[in-house]
Structures are given as structure tokens and as C-alpha cells.
Amino acid sequence: MLSIQNLFKRFGNLIAINEFSLTVNKGETVVLMGPSGCGKSTTIRTINRLVEPDRGSILLNEHDIMALDIDSLNQVRKRIGFVFQHFNLIGRLTTLENVMLGMVMGGMQREIARDKAIGALTKVGLETHLEHKPGELSGGQQQRVGIARALAYEPELMLWDEPTASLDPILVREVLVVMEELARDRASSMIVVTHELPFALRVADRIVLMDKGQVVEEGKPSQVFVNPISEIGRKYKELIEYQMNTSAQSLAGN
Ligand SMILES: Nc1ncnc2c1ncn2[C@@H]1O[C@H](COP(=O)(O)OP(=O)(O)OP(=O)(O)O)[C@@H](O)[C@H]1O
Ligand SMILES: [Mg+2]
């Protein structure tokens, strides 16, 4: 479905992506983790060429992404949903209008765009908030509008870059629940950059650990977090054990 081979990206002297290769199957959810600055955001932004890689190959189904001219690239970008940390909703538009906007600007008939937007907003549980403006929504609800905006295109591939990172911890859960439902639905393949370990453990078909622009380990969560082979993998394993132990101790102590 998606095949990335030997991706390479340099910013001046800094090598941000170093011969990165990854294959994602149809309907699969891959969680991409690694230390800050290891190249996760840069990597997922190269997939639709928001960041231009220096070299490498990116095949999405029949499309050779690196070979596309700008018009064809814009067509393929519609098949790829992107959810960022900051939701960038337009404050003067309603929930429904925010989700419809891109489709209408892209030439879709208003009625069709409206149906697709309502369908997507229903999937994220916001069908009762169609007329709210972003300022009248919580952060979690705003991010769910952001998710609906990507979902409305029925993307083949969803890319998530720390979608819960700017949310109040209480609101993180509602977004993770929506993400988990979408992953279980398997309508799109997903690459999720997140530091949410419980989500990764529960939802990922595969964990990919990155360090210094490279894949250092990949496998099922039960493999990567139980018998890691990389230094980064061992650090995540220690972190999970620490979190489990401290939670158990606090509960026992109170
Ligand atoms: N436009 C840019 N110009 C110069 N350097 C950049 C640019 N974008 C990213 N970098 C550098 O490339 C490296 C990888 O950055 P990237 O944002 O991909 O990391 P990340 O793994 O997403 O980190 P985080 O977990 O903090 O989001 C970093 O050293 C970053 O400073
Ligand atoms: Mg990042």
C-alpha cells in the first residue's frame, strides 16, 4: 500500500532522515516513536511532500509520489489525511463549514461536501455540534473537528503527528478513543506519531522506533516493548515498567 525506500533528508549539515525505509499495509496502524528531534515529523511530512526529501522512493498504491508533478501531487494529497498537533481551524466558521471548506474549495458540490462532512463529524461524535464555532468547543472537540476534516476525504492513508500533544490530559482520552475506533475500522492505513504508550500498546499493529533519522527497531508491541533489541526499545520498556510499577504502588499505598 505504502512503500518508502531509502528516504534521505538533510537540513544544512544536519541529517534529519537517514536511509529510512518503511512499508505499511492496507488498513494497518503503525505507531512511529522515538526521541525528540529524531526525525518523526520530517519523515511523515515527506510522504505527501510537505517536506521535499533529497532522495528516496515513496510509492502509495500505484502512485510514485516523488515523480508526480504538482497537479497530480495535489490529487494524491486528497487521498492522504493529515492531523497535526495544532488543529488550525478557522475561528469565524462553524464546525460544519470548517470540515466542508477544503472540499468546496477543491471544486466539490456543496451538497456532496455537506453530506461527507456530516458523515465524518458523526464518526468523531460531533454530529450535535455542527453549528458551533471553534471558540465554543473544548480542545478535544476542536481536535476531533480536525480529524473529521481529514476523514471527510475518505483517505487511503492517515498521517497523525502528535495529535494529542497540545491537549489538556483530561481531553486526550476522547481523541485517543476516536483514533482507536478509526484504527479498528481499518478503512485507512495509519501512521501515528505519538508519545502515548498505552495507546501504542493497545492499538498499534506495528511499532516503529526511530533514532537519528533511522529505523532502529520494528515489530509488534508485544515484541518491541517486551524483548527490545535497540537501545531506544530498552528505554521504552523501562518506561513502561516504571509507569506500571509506580501506578500499582500508588494505588496500593492509598
Ligand atoms: N525546516 C527545518 N530546517 C532545519 N532543520 C529542521 C527543519 N525541520 C526539522 N529540522 C531538524 O531536523 C531534526 C528532526 O526534526 P523533526 O521535527 O522531524 O523531529 P521529531 O522527531 O518530530 O521531534 P519531536 O518529537 O520533538 O517533534 C531536528 O534536529 C530538527 O531541528
Ligand atoms: Mg515532531
| DSSP H helix total and E strand total for the chain | 9, 10
Which residues fall inside 5 Å of ion ligand 2, going by CB?
41
Please work out whether the CB of residue 38 comes within 6 Å of at least one atom of ligand 1. yes
Nearest CA to ligand 1 atom 5: 11
Task: Give Rg (Cα) of the chain.
Answer: 19
pLDDT of residue 140: 94
**Residue 137 C-alpha to ligand 1 middle, in angstroms?**
30
Nearest CA to ligand 1 atom 9: 42
**Residue 199 to residue 33: CA distance in whole angstroms:** 12
pLDDT of residue 224: 95
Q: Are 152 and 103 a contacting pair, CB within 8 Å?
A: yes
pLDDT of residue 248: 83
Q: Are 23 and 4 a contacting pair, CB within 8 Å?
A: yes
Q: Model-level pTM?
A: 0.94
**Residue 120 to residue 152: CA distance in whole angstroms:** 5
Q: How far is CA 49 from the centre of its chain?
A: 15
pLDDT of residue 244: 85
pLDDT of residue 251: 84
pLDDT of residue 254: 67
The length of the chain, given as a count of residues: 254
pLDDT of residue 249: 86
**Residue 5 to residue 158: CA distance in whole angstroms:** 19
**Residue 39 C-alpha to ligand 1 middle, in angstroms?**
6
- Residues of the chain predicted below pLDDT 50: none
